[in-house]
Structure 1
Amino acid sequence: MHVKRGSTTFLKVIIVLAGIAVLALCICLPGIAVRDARVHPDTAYFLIPFLICAYGFCIAFSVSLYQAFKLLTYIEKNNAFSELSLKSLQTIKRCAFTFIILIVIAIVSLRVLATVTNSDDAAGPTSLCLMGILATSIIAAIVDALQKPLKKYGR
């Protein structure tokens, strides 16, 4: 039991540190976007879609972190197979699907930006976005695989 508590405490610390990093990003993001808009005034109108996607990512990621923290708390209290754990996993899966939707919006925005500015530099960021979709899909599949035994055990 001591090892389990130590490992869940370590994971909780990692989650808190990731949450602090997301909070710092949310605070710094508008300043970075405004500076970029000043440097590139011809593409400044993409500032709003960029900020919407960025804050959407931050909100969904923060919700996922909170649910993971709650899930670790349930594990510590030996309630890993409870209905509350299922709800946390379901919320994490919904956040993963939100990530995928926001990444698709980002891909569309990148392609439009590349077309408007007559540049072909959208291939690299687009491939990174597709890798993000793959990684997020894997996470959603893992969460779904974790949910199935919990549902069977809970009934």
Structure 2
Amino acid sequence: MKRETFFLKFVIYLIGLPALAVCIYGFSRFDPNSPYWALPELENLQYPLLVGMYLAMIPFFIALIQTLKLLNYIDKNQAFSEAAVKSLKTIKYCAIIIIGLFILELPVLYLLTAVDDTPGILIGMVVIFASLVIAVFAATLQKLLHNAIELKSENDLTV
């Protein structure tokens, strides 16, 4: 593994492992018999919240895997390839899916915030804006990379 991408791969794993731990352990701690969820205002919010969070984890992990693939392409000096463009496109779509899922989850977070003084809406908006930044950045890189590949192929054909 090259030194240039080692740190980035380490950070990807550092992001992914706690998220996986939350999926396995953290979300399963939502006990329906807990007195917190027994409140009449909250009893119907637990399952929509869990479903939304688990659904958002699917594109999150797909994006992390695609990021690792992209770093592997860079390690193999294949950064300017159609496979790298495809990885960026997948990352962009995953970020857009996460944005959509959290927009659908905002009413549940609002109801949770109305009953309990939690920063649910704020956390939801942070996730939406972070995903928006990632989607725009991936789309920009995808376009730049695609243009660079086209320019390279034109230069290869020129004598």
Residue equivalent to 2:16: 19
- Contact (CA 8 Å) 1:63, 1:95: kept in 2 or not? yes
Deviation sequence 1:6-60 (CA, Å, 0-9, x none): 1201211222232221221111134321167443213232222111111122212
One of 123, 135, 140 as aligned partner of 1:140: 135
Gaps in structure 2 of 5+ consecutive residues: 151-159
Residue equivalent to 1:127: 122
Residue equivalent to 1:105: 104
- SS of 1:95's equivalent? helix
Say whether 1:29 aligns with 2:21: no
Report the Cα distance in structure 2 between the residues aligned to 1:154 and 1:86, rounded to whole angstroms: 9
The one-letter amino acid of 1:40's match is W
Deviation sequence 1:61-116 (CA, Å, 0-9, x none): 1111100000000001011110100110011001111111121122111234456x
Aligned length: 148
Give the share of equivalent positions with the same residue, in percent. Answer: 34
Shift of the 51–120 alpha-carbon distance from structure 1 to 2, 3 Å rule, reads closer
Gaps in structure 1 of 5+ consecutive residues: none
My pick for the range that moved more, 32-41 or 47-56, is 32-41
The one-letter amino acid of 1:20's match is L
Which structure carries more helix by proportion?
1
Say whether 1:151 aligns with 2:135: no
Residue equivalent to 1:92: 91
Q: TM-score, normalised by structure 1?
A: 0.83
Query: Greater Rg, structure 1 or structure 2?
Result: 2
Report the Cα distance in structure 2 between the residues aligned to 1:44 and 1:90, rounded to whole angstroms: 39
The one-letter amino acid of 1:29's match is G
The one-letter amino acid of 1:12's match is K
Shift of the 90–36 alpha-carbon distance from structure 1 to 2, 3 Å rule, reads farther
Shift of the 106–63 alpha-carbon distance from structure 1 to 2, 3 Å rule, reads same
